[in-house]
Structure 1
């Protein structure tokens, strides 16, 4: 098997991780029409996606440290920011469903975020038995200045593509998401998601 082209800071093993993974699972038998050039190109593409994922993880870790919050806290705040920008009201049950955590875990998360002055709970305007959750202006500004501004740089890469190129990339990512969905993983059926 030929080696893939390595990127700066990448060793030969890392550059071939997905090539080895594909050959070990019979993918090459499923696609016999692929030649060495195709396999090298696919390997480069998969490694580029892995580097993107690594960059996202590093950014996420740095932002959590900067804001002194957990990954779950950051996901909750991100959801609240997006909902607020869209004019949506967020209830604890909506947040619980989004995060896929129990109501008890949601209560603990909200208590922690409220103690840290990241959120406020208000009475629901239409249902006095329910609460709405809102992110504080200070936390939203901090998130926007740290993570948001950096995350927005993704737009630059997308803007450099033509409309047709964006459609190809969008379709590819949607297709890959469907392919790696746990719906295709018999071994994961009994796991709690």
Structure 2
């Protein structure tokens, strides 16, 4: 029995299929060569490293901006709306975040109190509000989180067109595989 002390080796072991499922209880790999299993484990390890880096970035940005994850997703949505000239409404924000109108109101109250957003009458619908991110918060988000996230573009730009097609197909396939449909333990 080995010693699981931590560090890079232990992190990669967590994503290694042989270590995680040695008896093939979850993954039938009888039709795969040893080389295939090693390569697939390397892909899973790379995904794990990427996920950990994303998590560290997310945690650092939340701490810097003094906001929670939903707040940050709301601000990102408002930045995109502002960039493309779309008027953001509470209803559109609720739909984007998959939260109730009551939760949206609480969210907007909190963001407005913090000086992150403004609410004004909608220019063409007197029953709605138009929500905008403040320039100070927009700049802070762009200079911190936005600048870090934009680096992903360069990683994709270094790929060939064919490689990007493979990556997109792979990520879409991974997304469809892990979508929580009809999983009783995931309902809540």
The 5-angstrom pairing of residues 49-88 of structure 1 reads: 49-88=47-86
Q: Per-residue CA shift, 1:149-180, capped at 9, x if unaligned? A: 11111111101000000000010000000000
Answer yes or no: is the 8 Å Cα contact 1:16–1:43 preserved in 2. no
Q: Per-residue CA shift, 1:65-101, capped at 9, x if unaligned? A: 1111111111110111112112211111111111111
TM norm structure 2: 0.89
Answer yes or no: is the 8 Å Cα contact 1:96–1:106 preserved in 2. yes
Corresponding residue of 2:181: 183
- Tell me how many residue pairs correspond in the alignment: 179
SS in 2 for 1:121: strand
Q: Per-residue CA shift, 1:115-172, capped at 9, x if unaligned? A: 1111001111111121011001111011000111111111111010000000000100
Q: Using the alignment, how far apart are the partners of 2:162 and 2:25 within structure 1?
A: 33
Q: 2:157 aligns with which of 135, 159, 181?
A: 159
- TM-superposed deviation, 1:25: 3.4
SS in 1 for 2:131: strand
Unaligned runs of 5+ in 1: 1-8
- TM-superposed deviation, 1:60: 0.8
Corresponding residue of 1:4: none
- TM-superposed deviation, 1:41: 1.0
The 5-angstrom pairing of residues 17-166 of structure 1 reads: 17-18=14-15, 19=17, 20-23=19-22, 24-28=24-28, 31-166=29-164
- TM-superposed deviation, 1:33: 2.1
- TM-superposed deviation, 1:186: 4.5
Unaligned runs of 5+ in 2: 1-6
Q: Using the alignment, how far apart are the partners of 1:25 and 1:122 within structure 2?
A: 56
